[in-house]
Structure 1
């Protein structure tokens, strides 16, 4: 039995069969990015640095750093931003994640506030008082660091481990005497409720946030990650020069008064910085102390937890 095969039909069929594979090969890769409301996504949008992306971003929204880190640990997302101590806490438990970029804020963005009518005037006045703080973050660490700096034994104060929403209610109703908190919560209490900043954590904490990735993304999406890190740095540089516009945009998203967000950004002074040897050493000192205080569950080798190659050449 013989068959007459039309050569043009054969070529056409072969091309059709190959088309899906070619399309897949040429299609832009997708980067799965975790976002907290008013975070990475809004920054990239308002700064307009992501208008010509050569890949697609698939955004996932999270209410806080902890569920974002859980998703990153499970490889449900490739990338996300969180406070450095939150990252190191999860990393120390064996999560397959790594930090590839960093931003820093001024230490004044982490502080202890008291109500405007409070008799507390100095840190020494906190002895015997009840202080709210979120367990396991930099404000937990900074609270202990402030007490240590002032020579106050931790046993001389009473800790109330509360998340921000619970802490705000307890603070305003007088159930706690002070609150170890961060921006923009501080600016909200100061501007809207007449609270006072008792002291801040300048010189005591790195005050940094990290871009962290799942290990699989390091090998599978390295080019996209490198591009995202560059755009993120450009976006933060834009934010420094356009604070009012950035504050208005963020305020509309998180539904907070513009003056609160503008004050918070002025205090934060957030900028992208390289993960260099100096920052690694600073992190190591802080994380070792945090582990000694029980803020981080296990010891962390910071040099192994970060990939310094993504921010080489990034000016501080």
Structure 2
């Protein structure tokens, strides 16, 4: 029988604590968890403290997890695999399912690239090990191509976009909210979307040391329920949340709203389907020679947490 930590159980665990206030060190990405929690007023009356660290992409967040610099972080399926391969003692505790359209391959308006088959011989900028990198590789595979048929340049989002606009690369493989901004403001074009290429899974991951600490584990359980409630609220109030998100990430309001609204995200409890999808991603990265060995993903999940419906 699974022993899940629900919102009620987390509160019961809190009532038994008598030690000093717990601090959760949480890693976020641009326009991620914190913006929703603040907009939905879900950070009020916290029985613990939060220290936030914002990262421009998943790779440095994964490094922070690996180093134990953060307790919890939001991270894509592929970057989590790289973190585990690098020795990170962390587990995925919940999954956000979303429409993967905005994890895409972008090109300039006049680019001849209109499909995955047109990528042959082109240069692609992205973060190594990112969701963008994964989608680029899957796009190549879908057209019968491989990484040997293109030139990858591994750059952070701001540099990758500039390289594309200036013409020093042909394609930029990225994700939201960068995709929405690039389409709306920079007038870049989605040549290949992530639909059919990526599962759309993003994880809330926690370090083993944090999970082994009973007080931090209870805090993480409470945080997860607040995060889920904030996502539900954002989906129900796109106009209000769009305004808040725009201020936080410095994007125009219509761009901010587009970046989250078309994802249709929802937090869910880890299930067998999610584990299977992650194993398929791990096997693909190994086949692509980006992971030195096969990873069995089952031990990288914790089934102790349940997302309230």
The bucket for the TM-score relative to the shorter chain is: 0.7 to 0.9
How do 1:1-316 residues align onto structure 2 when only pairs under 5 Å count? 25=18, 27-220=20-213, 221-311=216-306, 314-315=308-309
Residue pair 2:97, 2:268 contacting (<8 A) in 1 also: yes
Residue pair 1:236, 1:270 contacting (<8 A) in 2 also: yes
Structure 1 position 138, deviation (Å): 1.7
Please say which structure displays the higher CA radius of gyration.
1
RMSD between superposed Cα atoms in Å: 2.1
Residue pair 1:280, 1:302 contacting (<8 A) in 2 also: yes
**TM-score for the superposition, normalised by structure 2:** 0.86
In structure 2, the CA distance between the partners of 1:56 and 1:275, relative to structure 1 (3 Å rule), is same
Structure (1 or 2) with the greater helix fraction: 1
In structure 2, the CA distance between the partners of 1:163 and 1:58, relative to structure 1 (3 Å rule), is closer
**TM-score for the superposition, normalised by structure 1:** 0.85
Unaligned runs of 5+ in 2: 1-16
Structure 1 position 275, deviation (Å): 0.9
In structure 2, the CA distance between the partners of 1:114 and 1:307, relative to structure 1 (3 Å rule), is same
Counterpart for residue 7 of structure 1: none
Return the alpha-carbon distance in structure 1 between the equivalents of residues 135 and 143 of structure 2.
Answer: 12
In structure 2, the CA distance between the partners of 1:30 and 1:206, relative to structure 1 (3 Å rule), is same
2:27 alignment partner, SS class: strand
Unaligned runs of 5+ in 1: 1-23
Return the alpha-carbon distance in structure 1 between the equivalents of residues 218 and 114 of structure 2.
Answer: 52
In structure 2, the CA distance between the partners of 1:241 and 1:293, relative to structure 1 (3 Å rule), is same
- Number of residue-to-residue matches in the alignment: 291
Residue pair 1:130, 1:159 contacting (<8 A) in 2 also: yes
Residue pair 1:137, 1:295 contacting (<8 A) in 2 also: no
Return the alpha-carbon distance in structure 2 between the equivalents of residues 63 and 201 of structure 1.
Answer: 20
CA deviation string 1:248-297 (max 9, x = no partner): 21211221111211111122222212211111011111111112213334
Question: Displaced runs of 4+ in structure 1, greater than 6 A?
Answer: none
In structure 2, the CA distance between the partners of 1:66 and 1:120, relative to structure 1 (3 Å rule), is closer
In structure 2, the CA distance between the partners of 1:304 and 1:251, relative to structure 1 (3 Å rule), is same
